[in-house]
Structure 1
Amino acid sequence: MFFLYFYTVTATANLLAALSLDGKDSAGDRQVNGSALELLISELVNTLTLTTQETKWGSETAAQSDEPKEEGAVEARTLADAPKRSTGVRSSPMVSGWQEVPDNSELMEQVYVKLELIGFRIGRRLAERFAPPNRRLTDTLDIVKFVCKDIWMLMFNRQIDNLKTNHRGIYVLQDNKFKWFLRMSGNNGGAAAARRAQPYIWLPCGIIRGVLDSYGVGTVVIAETLGLPQCTFQIKVVSDA
């Protein structure tokens, strides 16, 4: 399982960092098939979720095995007592590859941290490679526009639909047709579908934070979706270089 996790994370980081911005087959540029990338992203989320569950389950089992047992006590633990682990979509099927999100806030918090950190590293690499060659980005708004236009076009072949700011360190990016959501569906819409989709916008949160951090702008990035395929990213500046 660790090998699968390591391979998926490494492959995702390498592919995203090696995308061709202008789509031309120039020297040093490699183009990535969009569908293949979407499947890889889905496997990244699935693998992180499963490995985190396995780690949590293993630690809980080990802790319980170390607990002292009263003399003559009978082990009464059954499979029903074990934490439930998702093995894929069952009751509300989505497109193949998009996994059901376990209803466990502590578990998903750990998955969020891992996905966001991976995205952060990717964002820094993307900013370094695809920085505008003809100008230096120093203003925070210009850097956010770079994310909305260049980085989004690089990753999703489209720009952010709407950018709002209060000019006090808050920026709101809205994508009305987030590409990784377009193939997602389910029998139950609304809040249930939005909850299942949530982990797939944690990686872009990290990417946005990584891009801005590479220019010396510290931020906190959060995302939400109220209905597929729309999603919103809120950037809060916490420090400016």
Structure 2
Amino acid sequence: MILLLAALTAQAAAPVPTTPAAQLDACLAQARSDPAGAEQAARMLGRAGEACRGAALAGQDDYAGAATAFTAAARNAEVAHEARAADYWAQAGNAWLAAGDAAKARAALDAALAAGTLTDLKRGEAYLDRARALVATGDIKAARVDLDLATRDAADDPLAWLLSATLARRMGDLPRAKLDIAQALRRSADDASVQLEAGNIAAAAGDAAGAQAAWKEAARLAPDAPAGRSAANALTQFAGDAAK
């Protein structure tokens, strides 16, 4: 009974967010574990809750809805001269990428980076996402510039190095591709997508043994994922050698 009363007292004493900023932060925290509940809480906040609604919808795989909400949050923040505007534009861009709309993603990420307030990792991730949008819309040269910036500002993100290596291979720059995939492998050797690309680069360089080893690892790591299945399919070209 004493323990129960203590718990109830602690709950009663927990501070209730009162300012709009505190309410938004509480809603965003809820979105990580209870996106459906956070969506309802966001509606109660009105215009101030658009960012939380975006996070809640993303947590429910409604990426187009999330992108629309983040866009509204970014515009509201710009009107209010809030520093979070660039973050919301970046989140809108990421959500548009997940929704498969590269053109809208690029526009949102242009706005995020133009604000000049993103720094370090956040800026690097925005460059990375914009590079993905640029590749999808066929602007390879601009994507190369953004990936160079992404590997500078988000150097610990293996995805930045993976995409940089992939783009270098597609552009025929195998020395750069080898350097960048080595960085990706240093950070995430247990990622089937990284091993798949390592095999692709080795194959492009004429290194059959290296390609086979990397593809086998990708297939082992994720046999049922797209990267693992692609690696297994690539390995079929060596079936004749194994039979000899």
* TM-score scaled by length of structure 2: 0.26
- The structure with higher relative contact order (CA 8 Å, sep 6+) is 1
Which has the greater radius of gyration? 2
Q: Which has the higher helix share?
A: 2
Q: Which has the higher strand share?
A: 1
